[in-house]
């Protein structure tokens, strides 16, 4: 993991590398399990690390790092409301991150830290919301690769509930077809309001099924259009839940594409709120000011840089004027800044963020939770 250079660390970081370094990435959700169970799991991990370090390093290097490991573990916060933990320990530093994102368990003993290992260890959760729309009712499902569960919102899911709630002028409208369309729009508007609440709670990709006509009405009134990954036209009124699940299989087959579409929709939405910064210099400044909610960056993007007199400003490293205060990779430093301030990080394929100069940061704003 890159370390911000200062007079305090300059001599150490320009000297031969200090070994060993320990990275522990694992689920850590005290509210979902007993502290005792978490303690047992951490002890098993610690015992494994101790044996490996003692077997591969002389005692003068092994003992201090093991002692530091025990101290860090004894100071963990079991009252956190986070989902996972990342611990980085070396002879000169120790850092603990409590993270909102689920990650796979991983232990790395090496000569250096790679903050990107933390992002690569994120557990992919293949969950999505499906809204099935008809001219009479709405059904909403929470799905993944194995389960398909119907969920309810706080609004009625049948158009009959709104027939007595339309204005007298509309109720007496002579054109029955026009009256039905007005009623359908009113019903779908309430459905969309319910979807807004569900999307805030679940923060998942959204798919919408329905006839072309119903989908057209939904698009015209929806405030969640940016959240929709795909529309699936057809007649689904007689389908069962298992059939809905089967229909969704080809649409969720390439999950990486779905995730990247979702990230781009979040970037687009945040831009409309003027809460998006892009380009390495702008993102560095926003991350330094702890404004980062979600960092999206192209994988393999690396940017060597140098500090300016202002800690919130960097500029491209001068290859002909190297000194001890350069930044090995500003992208890694930005990742660390965002995670430290409670934000999240996602990698996308090269070229996806071309118009954003390879890196974009969604800032915190209002009640919007784009994570």
When pLDDT is averaged across residues 288-309 and rounded to a whole number, the result is: 91
Helix (H) or strand (E) holding 88: strand 84-89
Average pLDDT, rounded, for the chain? 83
Residue 371 has pLDDT above 70, yes or no: no
Helix (H) or strand (E) holding 23: strand 21-27
| Superfamily name and number for 128-251 | eRF1 domain 2 (3.30.420.60)
pLDDT given for residue 13 in this prediction? 39
What one-character-per-residue DSSP string does 237-284 give?
TT--HHHHHHHHGGGSS-HHHHHHHHHHHHHHHHHHTT-EEESHHHHH
SS3 29: coil
Residue 15 has pLDDT above 50, yes or no: no
- pLDDT by residue (tens digit) across 177-191? 777 788 888 888 888
* Distance (Å, whole) CA 190 – CA 168: 19
Q: Where in the chain is the domain with CATH 3.30.960.10?
A: 1-123
Most confident of 165-179, 192-206, 278-292: 278-292
pTM, entire model = 0.75
- pLDDT by residue (tens digit) across 232-259? 999 898 898 889 999 999 999 999 999 9
Q: How far apart are the first and last CA of the chain?
A: 24
- pLDDT band at residue 3 using 50, 70 and 90 as cut-offs: very low
pLDDT given for residue 146 in this prediction? 80
pLDDT given for residue 363 in this prediction? 95
SS3 211: coil
When pLDDT is averaged across residues 85-95 and rounded to a whole number, the result is: 89
Of the candidates 195, 203, 207, 298, the one whose C-alpha atom is nearest the C-alpha of residue 258 is: 207
Of the candidates 150, 171, 5, the one whose C-alpha atom is nearest the C-alpha of residue 92 is: 5
* Distance (Å, whole) CA 127 – CA 202: 9
Q: Per DSSP, which regions of 93-165 are E strands?
A: 94-99, 106-110, 128-133, 138-143, 148-151
- Fold exhibited by the domain 256-371: 60s Ribosomal Protein L30; Chain: A; (3.30.1330)
pLDDT given for residue 212 in this prediction? 94
Residue 334 has pLDDT above 70, yes or no: yes
Q: Where in the chain is the domain with CATH 3.30.1330.30?
A: 256-371
Residue 10 has pLDDT above 70, yes or no: no
Compute the residue count for the chain: 371
Range of lowest pLDDT (83-87, 145-149, 162-166, 280-284): 162-166
- Fold exhibited by the domain 1-123: 3.30.960
Q: Are strands 206-210 and 292-298 parallel, antiparallel or unpaired?
A: unpaired
């Amino acid at each position: 993991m890159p370390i911000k250079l200062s007079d305090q660390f300059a001599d150490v970081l320009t000297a031969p590398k200090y070994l060993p370094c320990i990275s522990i990435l694992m689920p850590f959700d005290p509210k979902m399990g007993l502290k005792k169970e978490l303690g047992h799991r951490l002890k098993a991990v610690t015992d494994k690390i101790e044996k490996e370090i003692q077997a591969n390093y002389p005692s003068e290097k092994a003992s201090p790092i093991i002692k530091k490991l025990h101290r860090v573990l004894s100071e963990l916060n079991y009252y956190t409301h986070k989902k996972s933990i990342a611990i980085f320990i070396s002879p000169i530093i120790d850092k603990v991150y409590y993270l909102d994102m689920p990650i796979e368990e991983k232990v790395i003993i090496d000569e250096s830290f790679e903050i990107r290992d933390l992002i690569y260890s994120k557990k992919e959760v293949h969950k999505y919301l499906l809204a099935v729309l008809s001219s009479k009712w709405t059904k909403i499902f929470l799905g993944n690769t194995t389960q398909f569960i119907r969920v309810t919102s706080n609004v009625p899911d049948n158009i009959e509930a709104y027939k007595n709630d339309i204005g007298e002028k509309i109720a007496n409208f002579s054109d029955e077809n026009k009256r039905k369309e007005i009623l359908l729009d009113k019903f779908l508007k309430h459905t969309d309001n319910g979807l807004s609440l569900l999307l805030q709670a679940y923060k998942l990709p959204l798919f919408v099924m329905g006839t072309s006509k119903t989908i057209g009405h939904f698009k015209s009134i929806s405030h969640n259009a940016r959240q929709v990954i795909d529309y699936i036209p057809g007649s689904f009124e007689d389908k069962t839940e298992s059939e809905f699940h089967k229909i969704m299989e080809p649409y969720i087959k390439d999950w990486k594409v779905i995730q990247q579409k979702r990230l781009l929709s979040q970037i687009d939405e945040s831009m409309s709120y003027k809460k998006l910064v892009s380009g390495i210099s702008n993102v560095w400044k926003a991350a330094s000011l702890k404004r980062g909610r979600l960092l999206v960056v192209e994988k393999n993007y690396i940017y060597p840089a140098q500090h300016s007199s202002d800690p919130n400003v960097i500029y491209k490293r001068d290859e002909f004027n190297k000194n001890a205060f350069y930044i090995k990779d500003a992208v890694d430093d930005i990742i660390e800044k965002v995670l430290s301030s409670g934000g999240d990080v996602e990698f996308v394929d090269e070229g996806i963020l071309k118009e954003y100069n390879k890196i974009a940061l969604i800032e915190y704003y209002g009640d919007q939770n784009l994570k």
